[in-house]
A and B are shown apart, each in its own frame.
Chain A
């Protein structure tokens, strides 16, 4: 394995982080909250995809769509039931609630589906593309391609559609957005829906590379993606992509060239250094207001 193949594998892993990080960053940008249950939405998406593929023998695309649908509904319902009543509460209360939702989902999954891991079926086989000495698995290529598509789609959505512009308005000033006639609660719902739907896509991509489904599956990728969102500048959509990709590459390089055991520590050390130098993250906006 050479440098180039490490880089591509890093981008593959980073693509998954980036897609998850979008959920964190969009929800933070609009609802100003850290949704720590986001990782567990990934887990639910993984179980739904698993049962769809394995038990109900659905083809890949309908299975993924079903997972997206279930996660989208789950995200919206969780927001309505758990977070919306706390709109006026302190951010600490919301944070604790999010952690509570996270435990609820994990333990619910354990109760329903037991804690023993289930083996996720192979989606595209184990084939790989070989170019000279370079060999990249199809799964990695599909993951990177998906990330690029998500990036283009989301950027177009946020910049070109009326709802997207309303989302950006809400992230800047909810009061002024309300004066424009924007239904802020509805925009928050849309944000949770998009973030959770993306989490389902990330779940399938993650399980395609690491084919095990278990109740705490979302925890570690969730924390890594959250780190990626902070790394890139929380609240910034391009920041989530950049942060996610960089984090994936750093992690794979650390594993390859330094130490497998220390790779996570190295990832977090890089985050600390970046935040020391630029506290708002790589693409984070400095908060300044003109009077």
Chain B
């Protein structure tokens, strides 16, 4: 589904991503774990077009994303839940969701997906007329996820969905990620909460200061001594 090859991204004068390669296959949950500043968000932004890579290739089902205009990427079936949620605070919940389907033209499909999102997040339905800025952090995270689902993506990129949430909400968010995946959406997940991420991931990569240092199945990495020491507090 997604194939990243020798990706290099500069952030100002700094080379933030120093040539990484990884793949995400159909139906998988793949996670990139790593410390703050390892380059996780930079990688996500390069894939979704918000940052232009210095070199390398990002292929989505045979399309070279580095050659596609940033706003056209979502139409190819790749949506992102950005770090910090970035919901449109001055617009209502429903307006945010409708912006999620901005690139789509199939009116009926959009209506059906709106109902699906409301089924997945009943809280959003209750607050459909409320301004997104008045929602709690957890609700904003759900809105950001719902908004991305409204694009009907083949692959969903999620950047730190658990950040700043209470443990209870974190569990809820991770359950929802699994459910989204079960319904057929491939997921690329970036997390600082390595324990949780590895627990649901089919495969995982460890990113350290712009390079991938380890990879394996979620379980393999969760049992890896180096990973336990560095990221799992063991």
Interface residues of A in 182-203 (CB under 8 A from B): 182-184
Could you say which of A181, A290, A291 contacts B71, with CB atoms under 8 Å apart?
A181
Contact string against A for B residues 3-40, beta-carbon threshold 8 Å, 1 for contact and 0 otherwise: 00000000000000000000000000000000000000
Are the C-beta atoms of B86 and A291 separated by less than 8 Å?
no
A contact residues around B99 at 8 Å (CB): 165-166, 169, 177, 180, 182
Q: A179-B80, A181-B103, A184-B71 are in contact. Are A168 and B48 (CB under 8 A)?
A: no
Give the distance in Å from the alpha carbon of A181 to the alpha carbon of B98 in the complex. Answer: 12
B contact residues around A289 at 8 Å (CB): 89
Give the distance in Å from the alpha carbon of A177 to the alpha carbon of B148 in the complex. Answer: 12
Are the C-beta atoms of A162 and B91 separated by less than 8 Å?
no
Give the distance in Å from the alpha carbon of A177 to the alpha carbon of B71 in the complex. Answer: 8
Give the distance in Å from the alpha carbon of A108 to the alpha carbon of B43 in the complex. Answer: 48
Q: A162-B102, A184-B71 are in contact. Are A179 and B88 (CB under 8 A)?
A: no
Interface residues of B in 25-80 (CB under 8 A from A): 48-50, 69-75, 79-80
Interface size on A, residues (CB 8 A): 21
A contact residues around B164 at 8 Å (CB): 291
With both chains docked as a complex, state the minimum distance between the C-beta of B88 and any C-beta of chain A, in angstroms.
5
Give the distance in Å from the alpha carbon of A4 to the alpha carbon of B102 in the complex. Answer: 48
B contact residues around A62 at 8 Å (CB): none
Identity of the chain B residue whose Cβ is nearest the Cβ of A170 in the assembled complex: B88
Give the distance in Å from the alpha carbon of A277 to the alpha carbon of B140 in the complex. Answer: 32
Give the distance in Å from the alpha carbon of A177 to the alpha carbon of B147 in the complex. Answer: 11
Identity of the chain B residue whose Cβ is nearest the Cβ of A174 in the assembled complex: B50
B contact residues around A169 at 8 Å (CB): 88, 91, 99
Give the distance in Å from the alpha carbon of A291 to the alpha carbon of B91 in the complex. Answer: 17
Are the C-beta atoms of A290 and B89 separated by less than 8 Å?
yes
Identity of the chain B residue whose Cβ is nearest the Cβ of A181 in the assembled complex: B103
Are the C-beta atoms of B72 and A181 separated by less than 8 Å?
yes
B contact residues around A166 at 8 Å (CB): 99, 102
With both chains docked as a complex, state the minimum distance between the C-beta of B123 and any C-beta of chain A, in angstroms.
16
Give the distance in Å from the alpha carbon of A172 to the alpha carbon of B85 in the complex. Answer: 13
Are the C-beta atoms of A179 and B103 separated by less than 8 Å?
no
Could you say which of A168, A172, A175, A180 contacts B102, with CB atoms under 8 Å apart?
A180
Are the C-beta atoms of A173 and B71 separated by less than 8 Å?
no
Give the distance in Å from the alpha carbon of A165 to the alpha carbon of B74 in the complex. Answer: 18
With both chains docked as a complex, state the minimum distance between the C-beta of B169 and any C-beta of chain A, in angstroms.
14
Are the C-beta atoms of A176 and B86 separated by less than 8 Å?
yes
With both chains docked as a complex, state the minimum distance between the C-beta of B96 and any C-beta of chain A, in angstroms.
9
Could you say which of A168, A180, A290 contacts B74, with CB atoms under 8 Å apart?
A180
Q: Is A110 an interface residue (CB 8 A)?
A: no
Are the C-beta atoms of A180 and B84 separated by less than 8 Å?
no
Give the distance in Å from the alpha carbon of A290 to the alpha carbon of B136 in the complex. Answer: 9
Identity of the chain B residue whose Cβ is nearest the Cβ of A162 in the assembled complex: B102
Could you say which of B75, B90, B103 contacts A168, with CB atoms under 8 Å apart?
B90
Give the distance in Å from the alpha carbon of A226 to the alpha carbon of B75 in the complex. Answer: 39
Q: Is A285 an interface residue (CB 8 A)?
A: yes
Q: Is A60 an interface residue (CB 8 A)?
A: no
Could you say which of B49, B84, B88, B137 contacts A178, with CB atoms under 8 Å apart?
B49
B contact residues around A168 at 8 Å (CB): 88, 90-91
Could you say which of B74, B79, B88, B148 contacts A173, with CB atoms under 8 Å apart?
B88
Q: Is B2 an interface residue (CB 8 A)?
A: no
Contact string against A for B residues 96-139, beta-carbon threshold 8 Å, 1 for contact and 0 otherwise: 00111011000000000000000000000000000001000100
Interface centre among A166, A169, A175, A181 (most CB of B within 10 A): A181
Could you say which of B48, B91, B137 contacts A179, with CB atoms under 8 Å apart?
B48
Give the distance in Å from the alpha carbon of A166 to the alpha carbon of B91 in the complex. Answer: 11
Task: Write the residues of chain A forming the contact surface with B, with a CB cutoff of 8 angstroms.
Answer: 162, 165-166, 168-169, 172-173, 175-184, 285, 289-291
30 pairs of residues in contact across A and B, judged by CB atoms under 8 Å: A166-B102, A169-B91, A172-B88, A172-B91, A175-B50, A175-B86, A176-B86, A176-B88, A177-B99, A178-B70, A178-B71, A179-B74, A179-B80, A179-B148, A180-B99, A180-B100, A180-B102, A180-B103, A180-B151, A181-B73, A181-B75, A181-B151, A182-B99, A183-B69, A183-B71, A184-B71, A285-B90, A290-B133, A290-B140, A291-B164
Task: Write the residues of chain B forming the contact surface with A, with a CB cutoff of 8 angstroms.
Answer: 48-50, 69-75, 79-80, 82, 84, 86-91, 95, 98-100, 102-103, 133, 137, 140, 147-148, 151, 164
Closest 10 CB pairs of A and B: A181-B103, A176-B86, A181-B74, A180-B102, A183-B71, A181-B102, A180-B99, A178-B70, A172-B88, A178-B71
4 additional A-B pairs beyond A168-B91, A179-B74, beta carbons within 8 Å, are A166-B99, A173-B88, A178-B70, A179-B79
